[in-house]
Amino acid sequence: MKVNLPDVKKEDILFIYRASKGLIAIARAKDKISIPRTREETPWAGGMYRYGALVPFRLEREFEEAIPVKFENMRISGTQISATSLRRGFSRVEPADSKRLFDLIAKFNQQTS
C-alpha cells in the first residue's frame, strides 16, 4: 500500500488539533515521518493496520483547555487550512497560516488570563 506522507522535517512545528475541540498542543518534529515496516515498530495496539505512520515529536506545549477555532467556508478563519486537511492527520501549514495560529493562541491566552 502506498501512503503519501507529508513533508515533515526535523524541527518542524506541529499544531495538534482535536476535532470538535480545537488546538490542543504544539509539538516539534524530532525526525521525518515514516511508515512502520514491522509490527515491532508500531507502539500502539492494532499494529500496522490501525495507523499508517510514525511521527516522532517532542511535545512543547499542551494547552490546559482546547483553543477553539472558527471555520469559514470550510477553512480555519483567516487561513488556508481546510477542515478536510485536519481530518487527514498532517498537512503542511504555510508560514502566514502558522503565524495566524500563533496569534490565535496568544489572543486566547490573553482572554483567559
Tell whether the model's pLDDT for residue 35 goes beyond 90.
Answer: no
Q: Is residue 1 situated within a structural domain?
A: no
pLDDT band for 1, please (50, 70, 90 cuts).
Answer: very low
Higher pLDDT, 11 or 85: 11
Q: Is 65 contained in some domain?
A: yes
- Let me know if residue 3 belongs to a domain: no
- Domains identified in the chain, total number: 1
Rounded Cα distance between 81 and 6, Å, is: 14
For 57-98, what is each residue's pLDDT tens digit? 999 999 999 999 999 999 999 999 998 888 766 677 889 999
Domain that holds residue 51: 13-112
Let me know if residue 5 belongs to a domain. no
Report the predicted TM-score, pTM, of the whole model to 2 decimal places: 0.82
Q: Identify the CA nearest to 38 among candidates 49, 26, 30, 22.
A: 49
